[in-house]
Amino acid sequence: MDARILLVEDDPSIREITAIGLRNAGFTVETADDGRAGLDRFAAADFDLVLLDVMLPRMDGLEVARAIRAGSTVPIVMLTARADTIDVVVGLEAGADDYVRKPFEVPELVARVRAALRRVGRREDDASATLRLGPLTIDLAGRTVRRDGAATDIALTRTEFELLVDLARHPGQVLERDTLLDRIWGYDYLGDSRLVDVAVGRLRSKIETDPAAPELILTVRGAGYKAAR
């Protein structure tokens, strides 16, 4: 696997050892030591994935994530110092697909990076098919979603698209958070179900008429989510 990874991290030791670990795992790694440099580097070349520290000088990781997200669906994995609500949720809402908590062991980080890349590489078997969910038409081959009567596609990240597809494939069926974590993020049981909650929230804000009263993706309290029939 020769995926190209952009690593933005300000601490030299962490940056160097993380780069070594990723290169050992077969990735091509470029590094940047602050937010602005990271954004410049991202604009200058193609990357398959961005690893982004939250606390960065000059421009913090959340801003960088938003800036990248404005023009790209590249997977973003945040390196966050805290696993409690604020950092994780804010990071995910800024457009990150996943997060890795500091401190991390390199093999763990590599596994997360691979999972994120696998998702991108995943292709539908029946790539010609389309799915319907309410007024939405989901084009699996083109990876686009369009609302009936709308002139343009709804812009979804890869994670959001995968989530929508998984739910739309099983209308009316409750999918537990852990199931979704496993299928979309490639997590085992130790995953953080807030990933699912935040991603569903973001997805709703893009596809629902009123995200506060969702009609397409419904919450089943204590269980998970389901797509409307």
Can you tell me which of 85, 121, 126, 212 binds another protein, judged by CB under 8 A? 85
Which of 40, 105 has the CB closer to another protein? 105
If the CB atoms of residues 105 and 124 are measured against another protein, the closer one turns out to be 105
Binding mask of the shown chain, residues 96 to 115, with x at each position contacting another protein by CB under 8 A: ------xxxxxxxx------
**Nearest CB to another protein, comparing residues 82 and 132:** 82
Closer of 20 and 155 to another protein (Cβ): 20
Dihedral of alpha carbons 185, 188, 190, 194, sign: positive
x/- letters, 10..49, toward another protein (CB under 8 A): -x-xx--xx-xx--x-------------------------
- Note whether 81 binds another protein by CB under 8 A: yes
Asked if residue 218 binds another protein (CB under 8 A), the reply is: no
The DSSP line for the chain is ---EEEEE-S-HHHHHHHHHHHHHTT-EEEEESSHHHHHHHHHHS--SEEEEESS-SSS-HHHHHHHHHTT----EEEEES--SHHHHHHHHHTT-SEEEESS--HHHHHHHHHHHHHHHH---TTTT-EEEETTEEEETTTTEEEETT-SS-B---HHHHHHHHHHHHSBT--EEHHHHIIIII---TTS-THHHHHHHHHHHHHH-SSTTS-SSEEEETTTEEEE--
Please tell me whether residue 125 binds another protein under the rule CB under 8 A: no
Query: In the complex, what is the shortest distance from the CB of residue 67 to another protein, in angstroms, rounded to a whole number?
Result: 24
Task: Select 14 or 228, whichever has its Cβ closest to another protein.
Answer: 14
Taking CB under 8 A as the rule, does residue 201 contact another protein?
no
Q: How far is the CB of 17 from another protein (least distance, A)?
A: 5
Catalog residues that contact another protein under the rule CB under 8 A.
11, 13-14, 17-18, 20-21, 24, 81-82, 84-85, 102-109, 189-190, 221-222
